[in-house]
Structure 1
Amino acid sequence: MSEEDNPHFLKGHALDLKQIRLDLYRLACYFEASRHLVGRETNGNASEDEYIPDLPKEFFKDEVSRVLLQSAIVLRILDDESEADRDERNPFICGTLELDGGSEPLGLREACNKILHARRMNYDKCSSEQRTPRDGRHDWYRPYLYLYGVQARKHWRAALDVRAFINHGARLLRARTLSEFIEWNEKYDGA
């Protein structure tokens, strides 16, 4: 067996950052659409949209979990590749962490850790006053998640602001290298 050296500048995993940004966009759309799909007017025809409210029930939680896990993995990889001193990094606050009876801001790196190690994830559910002929009131979800786990035999609870997570994650996923960042800025920001 012969080992071949990786000739690329980045020696680690080949990551498609645009795909992960697309997933973050989808995550934002899932939460934004959640309320609108269950509260949509049927224009007097009750059977017209009979099954649309069922779609979030079938796909929402699986897709949210998938996107969170994939993006947390990639964001952690990028964070590990960063050469900046950890103490000087902008923590990109996206929630709160409760541990040992105290509460502290939840930075993006720690949010990724909590997503990856959560033993339970709860959603922030609301009920729609809109009633449908088949099953009455429908639930929708606000963009907040509550993650629970154990670290060093201590229980923790992380309240994740999904919109802040998406915002900070999308910002960091613009580029993996300086040349990619310059190219991205020229293409999308017109700089």
Structure 2
Amino acid sequence: MSGEELYGRPWIPPVDFERIELAAYRLLSIFFADKEIQERKGKGEITFSCRETLKEAQIIHLLREVAVLYRAYDESFLEANEFRPLRDERIVGNLYELADSSRKLPGESLKMREGCNKIIHAQRVSFEYGKLRNSDRCYLHPVVHLFGRKKKEWEAKLQVIEFCEFACTPLHVIAMAKSPPIQI
């Protein structure tokens, strides 16, 4: 056995889950704080301003950070059969094939691992905004649209809350929780 293998599998350095949790927390904080900030700005309570492009750039950076770290973690369990059903349960949005620039074909569920891939390989990102009541101000919804092309053009509609929740919950912890207790 080489020094690069452990238990017959390539050795992958362990992922620091605190980094995933912190990036996910920051990501969710941007979305959850945005509505409150916009409401207070509308009332004149605060004058703080952050350009939308800065917020959006930070969101993209944090999405990529979580996606890359999670993929590195997931890679270490890729061949573990007990995790396959758990992987399939982790739905983080929808994936659409684009027939042309104006028409989507019916979508399919976007699983966590594929969601990470779409984040990493996206060529364009767009955001959903809601409008505050009785105001012309808008705030971010925790939904991101990712666009790219691999053989065919695609759009992934990513639910950011679910994505962060799954990223912060290790597969092996869920597998242990679902396992029957050991009889002695």
When the two structures are superposed, what TM-score results if normalisation uses the length of structure 2? Answer: 0.75
| CA distance in structure 1 between the partners assigned to 2:53 and 2:91 by the alignment | 31
Name the structure 2 match of 1:165. 163
| CA distance in structure 1 between the partners assigned to 2:159 and 2:75 by the alignment | 23
Is 1:70 paired with 2:65?
yes
Name the structure 2 match of 1:187. none
Asked if structure 1 preserves the Cα contact closer than 8 Å seen for 2:17 and 2:168, the reply is: no
Is 1:38 paired with 2:38?
yes
Cα pair distance change 1:73/1:60, threshold 3 Å: same
Unpaired runs of 5+ in structure 1? 132-136, 182-191
Asked if structure 1 preserves the Cα contact closer than 8 Å seen for 2:92 and 2:112, the reply is: yes
**Secondary structure of residue in 1 paired with 2:169:** helix
| CA distance in structure 2 between the partners assigned to 1:28 and 1:172 by the alignment | 18
Asked if structure 2 preserves the Cα contact closer than 8 Å seen for 1:17 and 1:173, the reply is: no
Name the structure 2 match of 1:140. 139
* Counterpart code for 1:30: I
Name the structure 2 match of 1:188. none
| CA distance in structure 1 between the partners assigned to 2:128 and 2:171 by the alignment | 26
Moved over 4 A (4+): 5-10
Name the structure 1 match of 2:24. 24
| CA distance in structure 1 between the partners assigned to 2:56 and 2:74 by the alignment | 26
> Identity of paired residues, percent?
25
Name the structure 2 match of 1:119. 123
**Secondary structure of residue in 2 paired with 1:106:** strand
Cα pair distance change 1:93/1:55, threshold 3 Å: same
| Root mean square deviation, CA, Å | 3.1
Unpaired runs of 5+ in structure 2? 100-104, 178-184
Deviation at 1:60, TM superposition (A): 1.4
Q: How many residues align?
A: 163
